[in-house]
Structure 1
Amino acid sequence: MRPLLPALTLAALLAAGGARAELIGDAEAGAQAFNACKGCHQIGQGAEDRIGPHLNGIFGRRAAVHDGYAYSASMERAGVDGLTWTLETLDAYIENPRALVSKTRMSYPGMKNEQARADLLAYLRTFSDNPANIPEAAPTAIGTDHSVDPDILAIQGDPEYGEYLSSECVSCHQADGSALGIPSITRWPEEDFVIAMHAYKDRLRPHPVMQMMAGRLSNEEIAALAAYFKDLD
């Protein structure tokens, strides 16, 4: 096992041309935060796949490419679409797994505390290549806050308007909830639907068609679609 960087607060340059540095987290505190992950994942020397894959070398790796582990179909699709594990995408996944990968088998509901996530990511980073080159390493470059504004999540969508807007959605997604190669969006919780659509808007979810579709929708239209599909039989 590589030695932990003792009580180190990591700093990284912004990925998009920023000279400003932001705190990533404390790796030593992240070792404690990893207790929430131990039931399914191992990390460090001798780590093996369990319910979930081991997490050595996770930074910079394409989703669902770790040999020997049986990933869900949704995770495999995300990898094919281009999802790569960076600080930004891992943060989004740990915060709300289903907002980034809709039908992930990971049952963990998400780590909502931003500082705890930052510490956990700093800890995970020490088990990827060249942890000593922080803050220069590209995999640690931190992006802007991706979380959805609570005011957006509070918008009450009109399901009738959502039904009107849904024709493009159901040209690919099955209204009856079946998943014929494309994940179902029927009976999604509204908040998960909204967060997922904004993840496409922010290009965290990599599917180019969905990025285009989400980019054309207003906050009110996304809320309306979420309200419609939530109760669709």
Structure 2
Amino acid sequence: MRLLKLITLALSLVLPVAGAWADEEAVPIGDAERGAKVFNQCKGCHQVGAGAENRIGPHLNGVFGRHAGGLDGFAYSKGMQRAASDGMEWDLRRLDAYLENPRALVSGTRMSFRGLKNPADRDDVLAYLRGFSDSPQNIPEAAPTAQHREVDLPPDVLELVGDTAYGEYLSSECKTCHQQDGSDAGIPSITHWPEEDFVVAMHAYKQKLRPHPVMQMMAGRLSDEEIAALAAYFKDPD
């Protein structure tokens, strides 16, 4: 019983509590009107709004707060089924990560879209989609759409200058799955990523925001300095 309490306490220190967000200052996600225009890029596969149906991809009504792979009647990819079995839920941060790079968040997804690299585009699309999710859709500070002003990582972590040579030394374990040449054979490429993106992704696994259990274990072993070193190496490993 004592061990269970300790584990619960530890998780409470690293995982955001949705109910607590209502007491914190939040900012709007983005411009929903502009997001409707950006969403035109998605309409070939997804529908949203009155009468929306599943197409190549599932409809996106009520996507906020939905469990991955949780829409009845849609045949999800094995990758999305794995994410579902890991308990992933579509909150604001995971939706943002998926829109930025679908295959980086869900390995093996059938979604061929390469992602929205512009953060403003992602914010605006999410603001648009939020209007088709359940109440409290019009309360910015309410879960699951609260967005904190604070960055997820302290500035000193993001500003660490990684040792490329040390990163190369550490990379051998990564290369048992990921290809150094950047090829993608079912496992997403991690080469030529901007260093900050790499660091954020690894800390997302470390904090169990991203649900891949092997990556959670691997990232959990690494110090901030080691993550920075790997980011420096994989930025240009050629």
Match of 1:214 in 2: 219
Q: Provide the residue aligned with 2:58 in structure 1.
A: 53
Q: Tell whether 2:113 aligns with 1:108.
A: yes
Measured after TM superposition, the shift of residue 17 of structure 1 is: 7.7
What is the deviation of 1:116?
Answer: 1.9
- Residue 140 of structure 1 aligns to a residue whose secondary structure is coil
| Equivalent residue number for residue 193 of structure 2 | 191
Q: Which residue of 2 aligns with 1:98?
A: 103
User: Following TM superposition, by how much is the alpha carbon of 1:14 offset from its aligned partner in structure 2, in angstroms?
Assistant: 9.9
- The equivalent residue for 1:120 is 125
Give a deviation string over 1:29-48, Cα, whole Å, max 9, x none.
21111111111111111111
Whole-angstrom CA distance in 1 between matches of 2:178 and 2:43: 36
Q: Which residue matches 2:143?
A: 138
Q: Which residue of 2 aligns with 1:74?
A: 79
Which secondary structure state, in structure 1, belongs to the residue aligned with residue 144 of structure 2?
helix
Per-residue Cα deviation, 1:40-73 (whole angstroms, up to 9, x for no partner)? 1111111111111110110101101212222121
Q: Which residue of 2 aligns with 1:162?
A: 170
| Paired AA for residue 205 in structure 2 | Y
Partner of 1:203: 208
Q: Residues 153, 15 of structure 1: CA spacing in aligned structure 2 closer, same or farther, 3 A cutoff?
A: farther
The one of 74, 77, 91 aligned to 1:86:
91
Give the conservation status (yes or no) of the 8 Å contact 1:153–1:191: no
Query: What is the rounded CA distance, in whole Å, between the counterparts of 1:174 and 1:139 in structure 2?
Result: 33
> CA 1:190/1:134 → structure 2, altered by over 3 Å: closer, same or farther?
same
Indicate conservation of the 8 Å contact 2:67/2:89, yes or no.
yes
- Secondary structure of 1:29's counterpart equals helix
Say whether the 8 Å CA contact 2:25–2:141 is kept in structure 1.
no
Q: String of CA shifts for 1:174-198, please: whole Å, max 9, x gaps.
A: 99x9x9xxx746x653529936433
TM-score, length basis structure 2: 0.69
Looking at structure 2, the residues matched to 25 and 114 of structure 1 have their Cα atoms a distance apart, in angstroms, of 10
Counterpart residue identity of residue 170, structure 2: G
| CA distance in structure 2 between the partners assigned to 1:90 and 1:33 by the alignment | 15
Q: Percent identity?
A: 56
SS of the residue aligned with 2:27?
Answer: strand
Higher share of residues assigned strand: 1
SS state at 2:28 partner = strand
SS at match of 1:33: helix
Q: Which residue of 2 aligns with 1:36?
A: 41
Output the amino acid matched with 1:33.
V
Equivalent pair of 1:100/1:205 in contact (CA under 8 Å):
yes
Distance 1:114 1:98, change over 3 A: same
2:94 and 2:57 mapped to 1: Cα distance? 18
Structure 2 runs not aligned, ≥5 long: 1-17
Is 1:157–1:220's contact at 8 Å kept on the other side of the alignment? no
Q: In the TM superposition, what whole-angstrom CA distance separates every residue of 1:79-106 from its partner, at most 9, and x where no partner exists? A: 1111100111111111121221122221
Shift of 1:21: 2.0
Measured on the aligned residues, the alpha-carbon RMSD in Å equals 3.8
Aligned pairs, number: 210
For the 8 Å contact 1:31–1:120, the answer to whether it is kept is yes
Distance in 2 of aligned mates of 1:82 and 1:154: 34
